[in-house]
Structure 1
Amino acid sequence: MDAIDRRILDILQNDSLVPVATIAEKVGLSPAPCWRRIRRLDEAGVIVRRVALLNRRMVNLPMTVFVSVKAPRHEAAWLQAFRRVIVDIPEIVEAWRLTGETDYLLRIVVPDIETYDAVYQRMIKRLEFSGVNSSIAMEELKFTTAVPTSYIKVKS
């Protein structure tokens, strides 16, 4: 990768619908070589997918709940069962395995507290937990899906 690839990635992370001709102009290339670079980044797996980000309020999902989960035991079978539970619940939009006191952190989006409780009930009905702690987000201070490209090692 080089500096042009980094600039292309910055543009696409901000808006993946920007026409190739516009990207090419912004990075100083003609459209065909720019398109080839984008295709190469796709094929190499640098670009994982292109998605539409929805306005959660407009789709009636204004509430974000962060849920800390403690596993009752650390074994492969429990982890596999947990993976099946979280995959089956669409309101769980992120799940992370952590170090420290909390084993897993979930980010759940729902319309209201009653819906969160229904999600919680579905989880505990399917799997045993040692502890579950929920925190409701009061205000979103920063949200981005873009990652910094400044750490990409650029060829000289």
Structure 2
Amino acid sequence: MSQDRAKEETPVRLDELDRKILAELQRDASRSLDEIARAVGSSKTPVWNRIRKLKAAGVIRKETVILDPDALGLEACFFVLVRTSEHEAGWQARFLEALRARPEVLEAHRLAGEIDYILKVRVKNARAYDAFYQALISEVKIFNVTALLSMEEIKATTELPL
């Protein structure tokens, strides 16, 4: 078994300070090390060392910013349910490549049950969604697609429960 695979299967052991640091980073990673250390009740050097170790262990994958889609004119959020009659590795590789190439696809999940995949797609409007849909079905054969327009985002977070 590869080290990456072992890392995926073995959760990293976190103590209370690690959890506090991660919670603070999830809230706002742009704050200074001093601010984070103060918030978790520690000093700067131990917090810096913990963050470094959490990055090395793969607990912290990357640091980024969260943009407001409405402010960028991306007001339509669709959840796209995909059913396929194709289950060969070649089809799946083409489908995943098509999804990864489309910046409108924010999330894609393979499901158990009647629906094979669910996609979270963020676009400007229904016309932009149709352009996305037309491009997708021109790249890969799909048995059935159902698009659900989100009328209101009630909760959205990137913060994992610690």
Secondary structure of residue in 1 paired with 2:52: helix
**What does residue 31 of structure 2 align with?**
18
1:19 is displaced (CA, Å) by 1.0
Residues 1:135 and 2:153 aligned together: no
Residue 92 of structure 1: how far off its partner (Å):
0.8
For 1:136 and 1:28, how far apart are their aligned partners in 2? 44
Aligned CA-pair RMSD = 0.7
Matched pairs, number:
149
Residue 126 (structure 1) aligned with residue 158 (structure 2):
no
Of residues 78, 88, 99, the one that matches 2:101 is 88
| 1:51 corresponds to | 64
CA deviation after TM superposition for structure 1 residue 73, in Å: 1.8
Shift of 1:95: 0.3
The structural deviation recorded for 1:62 is: 1.0
1:71 aligned onto 2:92: no
SS at match of 2:78: strand
Distance 1:27 1:109 in 2: 35
> Alignment partner of 1:22: what SS?
helix
What CA distance in whole angstroms lies between the structure 1 residues aligned with 2:159 and 2:129? Answer: 28
Deviation at 1:30, TM superposition (A): 1.0
Structure 1 residue matching 2:148: 3-state secondary structure: strand
Residues 59-107 of structure 1: per-residue CA shift (max 9 Å, x gap): 1101100000011221111110101110111101110000001000000
Structure 1 residue ranges, 4+ long, deviating more than 3 angstroms after superposition: none
Partner of 1:97: 110
User: 1-side partners of 2:57 and 2:144: how far apart?
Assistant: 40
- SS class of match (1:109): strand
- Secondary structure of residue in 2 paired with 1:12: helix
Residue 14 of structure 1 aligns with an amino acid whose one-letter code is: R
Percentage of pairs with the same residue: 40
Measured against aligned partners, the alpha-carbon deviations of 1:27-52 in whole angstroms (never above 9, x if no partner) come to 12111111111111111100011111
Q: Which residue of 1 aligns with 2:44?
A: 31
**1:102-113 mapped onto 2 (5 Å cutoff):** 102-113=115-126
SS at match of 2:47: helix
